[in-house]
Amino acid sequence: MHIEKNVINSHHKENESIVTWLRSGEAVNITWFHPISHNVRKISATVMLPKNYECYNCVIRIIWQSVEIEKNYSSYYSCADVNIVNEIPDGDTCLGNGNRKYGICECNAYSFGDNCQYHDECINDKDCNSHGRCITFSNDVTAIKQCFCQRVSQSFTDDSEFVPSLYHMEQVGKDNDKIYWRILQKF
């Protein structure tokens, strides 16, 4: 782990980016997703932050090195804008998706996690414009909710027309769900 002071030290609200607030002296699990060759991998690292160390507008950078096809080495970098403090202040310290009260983030609708870092597309089927279902599924990090549309609608916002003849169709699963797909030309 490498912590560096960000060169840009802005105190103007309109120039501030979303910053993760971390408590000094605690273990932090840093997770990111990276496409490697043919699949997407979850990469994570647990780091122990130094005790009584404070740093505002800093960057945590983790470098991960892997051996891929034919023993070629690749390096991957994770960067996060952070404030490391002894005590996280109450207020807007939940990634812009809630407010911290008494040290705990109270997340806005559709956001969740210790720092409101995860997001659901929907809470129930009504959020999918009556043409889809709000389904919970689990990935390597957490369970999230997403809209899955019925055939009558290709998007839960209903903002474009669907022409089945432009696609290939596959039926899958016990319910014979239909998946329409096509390959678009490269630009």
Q: What is the C-alpha separation between 134 and 117, in angstroms, rounded? A: 20
pTM of the predicted model as reported, rounded to 2 decimal places: 0.60
Burial of 22 (0-12, 13-18, 19+ CB in 10 A): buried
Phi (first) and psi of residue 27, to 5 degrees: -80, 135
pLDDT in tens, 77-131: 777 889 999 999 999 999 999 999 999 999 999 999 989 988 898 999 888 877 7
Model confidence band, residue 18 (pLDDT cutoffs 50, 70, 90): confident
Model confidence band, residue 185 (pLDDT cutoffs 50, 70, 90): low
Q: What is the C-alpha separation between 150 and 135, in angstroms, rounded? A: 12
Predicted pLDDT at 93: 92
Q: Are the CB atoms for 25 and 50 separated by under 8 Å?
A: yes
Predicted pLDDT at 138: 74
Q: Are the CB atoms for 103 and 88 separated by under 8 Å?
A: yes
Give how far Cα 3 sits from Cα of 26, 64, 73, 133, Å: 15, 15, 24, 43
Q: Which long-range contacts (CB under 8 A, 24 or more apart) does 129-136 make?
A: 129/153, 129/156, 129/157, 129/158, 131/156, 131/158, 132/156
Helices (H) and strands (E) in the chain, counts: 0, 14
